[in-house]
Amino acid sequence: MTARLGVFLAGALWSVGSSFASPGATAGAMPPRASLCAKDEATVFGCAVGSKVASLCAANSADTLRYIFGGSGHADLSLTNAPRGRMTYGTLSYSSGGGDYVRVKSGRYSYVVYSAIGQGWEQEGLVVEKDGRRVSAKLCNGHRAALGSQGWGRVYAAHLPKDTQGFDKPD
């Protein structure tokens, strides 16, 4: 199984029930690539969501991850896994597969990017929660970039705390 990871947040840019399109974005416009990571960072996960991109990047130091959300060529939001506990990691189990997720916390919001696979299906997406309640869920579209199992190795090397809240992927 090739695991793909993502974390990722839209911050105040994602209002309840809205798409990720930014003001002035053309409907249906796709970013040219699915990563906003710098040239000296490895793309652990990249996912196009509407006209925006969510990326999880690994720096040269083994324990540093950075989440970036934004449009083509610019970051609307950029967070690292410091302070400890901002990013947490969890797994999903199904009778015919499984998955992984990373939760990023920022104030009253949590942003969960997940990747799951089962018999005959595969799903990746972004879920936004406010005060512990799911307010929106979006699937990744078209453009993706990931290191596969090597990317998960970079997540494990960051020693993220285990997520204790739990997560159920959207149906």
Instruction: List the domain range (segments joined by +) for residue 109.
Output: 11-157
Calculate the CA 53 to chain-centre distance.
9
Calculate the CA 40 to chain-centre distance.
20
Considering the domain boundaries, does residue 170 fall inside one?
no
Q: What are phi and psi of 157, to 5 degrees?
A: -65, -25
Query: Which comes out higher in pLDDT, residue 153 or 62?
Result: 153
Tell me the average pLDDT of the chain. Answer: 75
Considering the domain boundaries, does residue 4 fall inside one?
no
Q: Using CA atoms, how far apart are residues 145 and 65, in angstroms rounded to an integer?
A: 16
Considering the domain boundaries, does residue 71 fall inside one?
yes
Considering the domain boundaries, does residue 167 fall inside one?
no
| Average pLDDT rounded to a whole number, residues 39-65 | 84
Over residues 78-106, the pLDDT tens digits come to: 888 888 889 999 989 988 898 888 899 98
Q: Is the pLDDT of residue 125 over 70?
A: yes
Domain count, the chain: 1
Q: Using CA atoms, how far apart are residues 110 and 169, in angstroms rounded to an integer?
A: 14
Considering the domain boundaries, does residue 83 fall inside one?
yes
Which has the closest alpha carbon to 111: 6, 5, 4, 9?
Answer: 9
* Whole-prediction pTM: 0.75
pLDDT at site 171: 83
Considering the domain boundaries, does residue 168 fall inside one?
no
Sequence-distant (6+) residues with CB within 8 A of 86 are 79, 80, 104, 105, 106
Share of the chain above pLDDT 90, in %: 16
Q: Using CA atoms, how far apart are residues 142 and 50, in angstroms rounded to an integer?
A: 9
Helix (H) or strand (E) holding 151: helix 149-157
Where on the phi/psi map is residue 34: left (φ > 0), alpha (ψ -120 to 50), or beta? Answer: alpha
Considering the domain boundaries, does residue 1 fall inside one?
no
Tokens of 31: 């970013």
pLDDT band at 14 (very low <50, low <70, confident <90, very high): very low
Tokens of 132: 């512990």
Considering the domain boundaries, does residue 164 fall inside one?
no
